[in-house]
Every structure is written in structure tokens, then in C-alpha cells.
């Protein structure tokens, strides 16, 4: 054993990826509805991104952030224009982006509000990363086992509960951090009224509304950012996953008036904003903004959800289908891991989001025919699980 066994591997050794498919070392082809955990939004080996990265590799691989990096500035300009926010800090991952947001919120509290012990409110079932701060912010105890002691300054509240937010808010509260669709927490969308009330409340109380779009951002839900479907503009937005389409990149976006709270020397990342990563980000943003892909995601997401409802109607193992765009979850009465295994046997790769929720994160370039194939496989897998569970009940196993 040469690796720490921190991941539960699924037995596949991928060696090639193209579009919505990957191939293992034996040459078997799989339809990939995981997108590398929501990373390869534009599919594997997208030509525009590949060309941009290859061009940058011939120019400059790395230079520190002590120098101006033109493609970093171009990437930041495209993100601020698209989001309505004013400035960007680049990191390498979603956890790092959320760390930057946490630090910004605390500095905002200390320097603007004169708060002595800044507190950030988060929500049950949320997931914000694996660093100690983002782990503490995460509202799931199962990922925190044996990692304490945890840093102070976080409190987790019931999701979609405005009363709980108001009751928990005090003089030390500097920010509220939430996902608009909880990914690891079971594909649970935030209620639109709750989000609008939260935006109004944060403005009135001079609290930062920080939205974690690490999984929902970059077209995943049918708009470039999920917050655009809620009719709000957050004070801070964090991104990663699809931002570089497989090239590691994360970003924290913030309002222009928050810029003074992260001045020179206040925060840094050696590899954040690396030229190669930024070339991928620029290419991703151009593909998102110069093509009709976002409209396609909306249409294909609706088609996928409609097909799931049609084909799985009456299936006793499916309790609910939820989510938006290309981020959907099947809440089941049986183990989601069992359905993942059934799907894998039939050439489809899917994910779990909790013990009884199947997560679907197909690449945004998926075709209707590939959607039909995935739904067919899931339908067959659920039918087999239903037969097996009936057999177990009858036989008393």
C-alpha cells in the first residue's frame, strides 16, 4: 500500500476520456454521469480547453503572483462581468475558495464591524470542504469523525428555516454561507422565498451573504450561476469544480467594496491563478458565454428530469426526484450504493449523495440519446433491486 486509503475506489481504472464517455484499461466503455464529481462540465477532452492549455504550456507554466498574469486578469474580468461582482481571488479548489471567503468574512467583521469573535452561520446537511475551517462549516457530522478540536466561529442551522436564522443572528454574526442546492447533502434545493428573505435580511443586518457554488456553478443548473435563478446577487460567491473543466482551479468572487478587506499580504496561494489553470478558465468561460450551451443545459435538464419521472413512475423504490438542470437526485427507499453498482455493471457511472440518494451529474454536452440510455439503465437497475428486495422479504433473508 503506497496511498493512504482515504477513497473508496470502485474498481475501475480509467485510461481515456472523450465527451461523455470514459474507457478503462481493458477497453470497456462507460457513459459517465459523474463528470469527475461535477468537474468536467464540458465533457472529457473538450477541444477548446485542450487547445488553450496546450498553447499556454508552450508559453509559461508557472510564475508567482508577485507578477502580473494576463490570462489571470482575463479570467477575472470574465467572471466579474458575468456575475455582477467586483473582484476575484483565485485558488486551487473549492475548499480553498471557501477558506478565502471565511477569511474575508472575518476580516470584514473585525475591520468594518469591530466584531471581536466573528461567527458564520451555515446549514445542516451542507458541505463546504475538507480543511479544518471548511469542515467545521460543513453541516454533516459524518465527515468530522475524529478530526477535532474544531475552530470556533461557526454555527449550523436547519436549512430553509428563516426563523432559525433570525434567532441565531447576534452581534458577532458576520456572514451566512449556504449552497443553493446542497450536493453532498442529498441534492436539496434552497427554497426561493427563503433565499430572497435571506438576501433582504443580510442587507438589513450588514451581514455578508456568501453562496457556495462550487458544485452548482458554471452552468450545472442551467444558468452560469445558480443564484441567477433566485433573483439575487450574493456578496460573495465561491467556485471550483467546473471552473477549469478538470484543470484544478478555484475562485472567490466578492463585491467591489469588499476589496479593501483583502489587501496586499492578507491572503495568498502559491498555485492559485497559475497561468495553465487560468488558460483553462478563460476557455471555459468563452465556451459558456459564446455558445448556446446554457440554453441547451436547461432543455436537456428538463428532458432528463421528465424522462426519469416517466420511466420511474410507480417504482416503489423511488421516493422523490429533485434538483435542477444537470444536477439531479433520486431519493430512494434502498441503498443508493446498490444502484450505483447495478448501473456500473451496465456501463453507466453515477454517484451517491448520502446513503439513499443517487446523484446524477452528467456532462453538460450530453446528448438526448445518452440521456435515454442512462434512464434505461437506471430503470433496469431499479427493477432488479425491486425483485431482489421482494425475494428477500419472501424468503426472510
The answer to whether the annotation marks 173 as part of a ligand binding site is no
10 Cβ contact list (under 8 Å, min separation 6):
340, 344
Q: Catalogue the E-assigned strands of the chain.
A: 14-18, 21-24, 29-32, 87-91, 119-123, 154-157, 173-178, 181-182, 188-189, 208-212, 236-239, 250-254, 318-324, 327-332, 348-349, 351-352, 357-360
DSSP-derived letter for residue 19 is B
Q: Is 87 exposed, middle or buried (0-12, 13-18, 19+ CB in 10 A)?
A: middle
The answer to whether the annotation marks 136 as part of a ligand binding site is no
| Alpha-carbon dihedral sign for residues 69, 72, 74, 77 | negative
Count CA within 13 A, CB hemisphere, residue 120.
32
The span from the CA of 238 to the CA of 98, in Å, is 6
The span from the CA of 223 to the CA of 233, in Å, is 14
The span from the CA of 23 to the CA of 29, in Å, is 5
Please choose, from the candidates 18, 49, 45, 46, the residue with its C-alpha nearest in 3D space to the C-alpha of residue 32: 18
The answer to whether the annotation marks 341 as part of a ligand binding site is no
Q: Is 137 exposed, middle or buried (0-12, 13-18, 19+ CB in 10 A)?
A: buried
The answer to whether the annotation marks 75 as part of a ligand binding site is no
Is 115 strand, coil or helix?
A: coil
The answer to whether the annotation marks 214 as part of a ligand binding site is yes
Cβ-contact 225, 217 below 8 angstroms: yes
The answer to whether the annotation marks 95 as part of a ligand binding site is yes
The answer to whether the annotation marks 130 as part of a ligand binding site is yes
The answer to whether the annotation marks 270 as part of a ligand binding site is yes
Residue 314 gets the label, from left (phi > 0), alpha (psi -120 to 50) or beta, of left
Q: Specify the long-range contacts of residues 53-57, CB closer than 8 Å, at least 24 apart.
A: 53/247, 53/276, 53/279, 53/280, 53/283, 55/279, 56/275, 56/276, 56/278, 56/279, 57/276
Q: Is 72 exposed, middle or buried (0-12, 13-18, 19+ CB in 10 A)?
A: buried
Residue list, annotated binding site for N(2)-acetyl-L-ornithine: 130, 269
Specify binding-site residues: 94-95, 127, 130, 212-215, 269-270
Binding residues for pyridoxal 5'-phosphate: 94-95, 127, 212-215, 270
Amino acid at each position: 500500500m503506497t496511498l493512504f486509503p482515504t477513497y473508496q475506489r470502485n474498481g475501475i481504472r480509467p485510461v481515456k476520456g472523450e465527451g461523455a464517455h470514459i474507457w478503462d484499461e481493458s477497453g470497456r466503455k462507460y457513459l459517465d454521469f459523474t463528470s469527475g464529481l461535477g468537474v468536467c462540465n464540458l465533457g472529457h477532452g473538450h477541444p477548446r480547453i485542450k487547445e488553450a492549455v496546450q498553447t499556454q504550456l508552450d508559453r509559461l507554466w508557472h510564475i508567482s503572483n508577485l507578477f502580473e498574469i494576463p490570462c489571470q486578469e482575463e479570467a477575472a474580468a470574465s467572471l466579474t462581468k458575468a456575475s455582477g461582482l467586483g473582484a476575484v481571488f483565485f485558488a486551487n479548489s473549492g475548499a480553498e475558495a471557501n477558506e478565502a471567503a471565511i477569511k474575508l468574512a472575518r476580516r470584514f467583521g473585525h475591520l468594518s464591524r469591530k466584531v471581536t469573535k466573528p461567527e458564520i452561520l451555515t446549514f445542516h446537511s451542507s458541505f463546504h470542504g475538507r480543511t479544518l475551517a471548511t469542515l467545521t462549516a460543513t453541516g454533516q457530522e459524518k465527515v468530522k469523525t475524529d478530526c477535532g478540536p474544531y475552530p470556533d466561529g461557526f454555527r449550523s442551522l436547519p436549512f430553509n428555516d428563516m426563523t432559525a436564522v433570525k434567532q441565531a443572528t447576534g452581534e458577532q454574526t458576520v456572514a451566512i454561507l449556504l449552497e443553493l442546492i446542497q450536493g453532498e447533502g442529498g441534492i436539496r434545493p434552497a427554497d426561493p422565498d427563503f433565499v430572497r428573505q435571506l438576501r433582504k435580511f443580510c442587507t438589513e443586518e450588514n451581514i455578508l451573504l456568501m453562496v457556495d457554488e462550487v458544485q452548482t456553478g458554471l452552468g450545472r443548473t442551467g444558468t452560469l450561476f445558480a443564484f441567477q435563478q433566485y433573483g439575487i446577487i450574493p456578496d460573495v460567491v465561491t467556485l471550483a469544480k467546473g471552473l477549469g473543466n478538470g484543470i484544478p482551479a478555484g475562485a472567490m468572487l466578492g463585491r467591489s467594496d469588499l476589496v479593501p478587506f483583502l489587501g496586499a499580504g492578507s491572503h495568498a496561494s502559491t498555485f492559485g491563478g497559475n497561468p495553465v489553470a487560468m488558460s483553462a478558465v478563460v476557455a471555459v468561460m468563452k465556451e459558456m458565454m459564446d455558445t448556446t450551451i446554457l440554453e441547451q443545459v436547461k432543455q436537456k435538464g428538463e428532458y432528463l428530469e421528465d424522462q426519469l419521472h416517466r420511466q420511474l413512475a410507480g417504482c416503489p423504490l423511488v421516493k422523490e426526484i429533485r434538483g435542477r438542470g444537470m444536477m439531479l437526485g433520486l431519493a430512494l427507499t434502498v441503498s443508493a450504493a446498490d444502484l450505483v453498482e447495478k448501473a456500473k455493471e451496465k456501463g453507466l457511472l453515477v454517484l451517491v449523495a448520502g446513503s439513499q440518494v443517487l446523484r446524477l451529474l452528467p456532462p453538460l454536452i450530453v446528448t438526448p440519446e445518452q440521456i435515454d440510455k442512462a434512464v434505461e439503465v437506471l430503470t433496469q437497475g431499479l427493477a432488479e433491486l425491486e425483485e431482489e428486495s421482494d425475494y428477500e422479504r419472501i424468503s426472510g433473508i
